[in-house]
Amino acid sequence: MSEPTPPHRRGLREFTALPVVRQSLGVVIACGAFAISFGAIAAAGGLDVWQTMALSLIMFSGGSQFALVGVVAGGGSPWAGAVAALLLGSRNTFYGLRLSTLLGLRGLRRAAAAQVVIDESSAMSLGRDSEREARIGFYVTGIGVFTLWNLGSLIGALGAGALTDPAAFGLDAAGPAAFVALLWPRLRDRETWAIALAAAGLAVLSVPFVPPGVPVLVAAAFGIAVGAWPRREPPLPDRPAPHGEAA
Amino acid sequence: MLWAAILVASVGCYLFKLAGMSVPAGLLARPAVQRIAALLPIVLLAALIAVQTVSSGQRLLIDARLAGVAVAVIAAWRRAPFLLILVLAAVTTALVRWWIPGS
């Protein structure tokens, strides 16, 4: 825990010199650039500018946005895309759970802060050495990404109108490539790899037999089944008693 | 219908975020719920990659996208930054299409 900064040393320069602020701003800028490709992919997938911006303003969760757009662009039902987006978005609940004690917000402030609970703001906040750094990481990243994400989406959505054939620019591969970049850091061990490969295989095998968009939900059902499967784990002192478990 | 799906999914995603900030910690502390929460992004992302790379509608289709995504995998393995992974995948796909028209 660092000592409180004396008032005469507080200032913008002092603030931006903090490592947590510089790291957060790096993430913010990368997200803004990434948002341009989201806007372009959404427009290429058949969404108009308003629909693209509704996703970036209200949904504001990159993976979920790409999921919905990807399903719609692939000819799937928008509702299958919505379910995929919701399932992917459910992870933010777990970030919020850990962030809520850290931020200690109530009422309207909590409702506003909840909107910027995303992968990036959580990653830049959780695991910091001090509570102050954790809060700075959350707010700088959350508010910064929200601003540049929406600006980038707008630029991408408007600019994509100039592209006659998005496929000629390889934009249809940018969506799955984004998922590769999101997935890779999560593949930490052999078991996770096996589950990911099984999910991918199941989804591909189901493509000819179910409507577009549903293969992804088949994989989700598989993930829920694997997660809920009862398994014996060594009893840990901090683990709650296993009565009434879903497992 | 597209608008309705967009709004329902968007509001739902926000409510997921708000729920996390609001519910008592014990509810989501169950091991099975934690495991499902950790696995969902992994299976969904893996499925999205596979489906969006080798399918078109209800058909399985190998085309230039596969080359682009393969390059993305190599770039991710070599710890390339996020944007570089996207750009490499798009450029590779575009180049393969240029070499082999119709792919």
Convert the pLDDT of each residue in A202-212 to its tens digit: 999 999 998 77
Q: What CA dihedral angle connects B64, B66, B67 and B70, to 10 degrees? A: 160
Contact between B97 and A170 under an 8 Å Cβ cutoff? The reply is: yes
Give CA–CA dist A150/A159, Å, rounded: 14
List B residues 54-83 in contact with A (Cβ-Cβ < 8 A): 54-60, 64-65, 68-69, 72-73, 76-77, 81-83
DSSP label at residue A77: -
Above 90 in pLDDT, residue B69? yes
Name the strand (E) or helix (H) holding A134: helix A131-159
What is the predicted pLDDT for the residue at A132? Answer: 92
Phi, psi of A3 (to 5 degrees): -75, 155
Residues of B in contact with A64 (CB under 8 A): 9, 13
Spatial neighbors of A23 by CB under 8 A, at least 6 apart, are A124, A137
**Closest-CA residue of chain A to B28:** A94
What is the predicted pLDDT for the residue at A246? Answer: 32
What is the predicted pLDDT for the residue at A178? Answer: 79
User: Which comes out higher in pLDDT, residue B66 or A247?
Assistant: B66
Give CA–CA dist A61/A67, Å, rounded: 10
Q: For residue A109, how many other CB atoms are within 10 A of its CB?
A: 11
What is the predicted pLDDT for the residue at B74? Answer: 98
Report pLDDT digits (tens) over A159-186.
Answer: 876 665 667 788 788 878 878 988 898 8
Hey, are the CB atoms on B13 and A61 less than 8 Å from each other?
Answer: yes
Share of chain B above pLDDT 70, in %: 98
Above 70 in pLDDT, residue A7? no
Q: Which of A40-54, A150-164, A232-246 has the highest mean pLDDT?
A: A40-54
- Using the Cβ of B8 and the Cβ atoms of chain A, whether some distance falls under 8 Å is answered with yes
What is the predicted pLDDT for the residue at A239? Answer: 40
Write the Ramachandran bin of B74: left for phi over 0, alpha for psi from -120 to 50, otherwise beta.
Answer: alpha
Residues of B in contact with A228 (CB under 8 A): 32, 35-36
User: Which comes out higher in pLDDT, residue A123 or A162?
Assistant: A123
Among candidates B16, B34, B55 on the partner chain, residue whose Cβ is nearest the Cβ of A90: B16
Above 80 in pLDDT, residue A232? no
DSSP for A57-74?
A: III--HHHHHHHHHHHHT
Spatial neighbors of A149 by CB under 8 A, at least 6 apart, are A31, A32, A35, A38, A56, A60, A62
Evaluate whether ipTM surpasses 0.90.
Answer: no
Half-sphere exposure of B68 (CA within 13 A, CB side): 36
What is the predicted pLDDT for the residue at A4? Answer: 58
CA B102 to the chain's CA centroid: 25
Q: What is the mean pLDDT of chain A?
A: 84
A124 CA to chain B: closest CA distance, Å?
Answer: 16
Give percent helix, percent strand, percent coil of chain B, each to the nearest 5.
80, 5, 15
Contact between A194 and A65 under an 8 Å Cβ cutoff? The reply is: no
Mean pLDDT over A45-70 rounds to 94
Hey, are the CB atoms on B13 and A215 less than 8 Å from each other?
Answer: no
User: Which comes out higher in pLDDT, residue A145 or A13?
Assistant: A145
Among candidates B26, B46, B58 on the partner chain, residue whose Cβ is nearest the Cβ of A207: B58
Give the E-state strand segments of chain B in sequence order: 55-56, 59-60
Above 90 in pLDDT, residue A139? yes
B56 CA to chain A: closest CA distance, Å?
Answer: 6
CA dist A162 → A132, A149, A158, A247, B2 (Å) = 45, 20, 8, 52, 23
Spatial neighbors of A8 by CB under 8 A, at least 6 apart, are none
Above 60 in pLDDT, residue A245? no
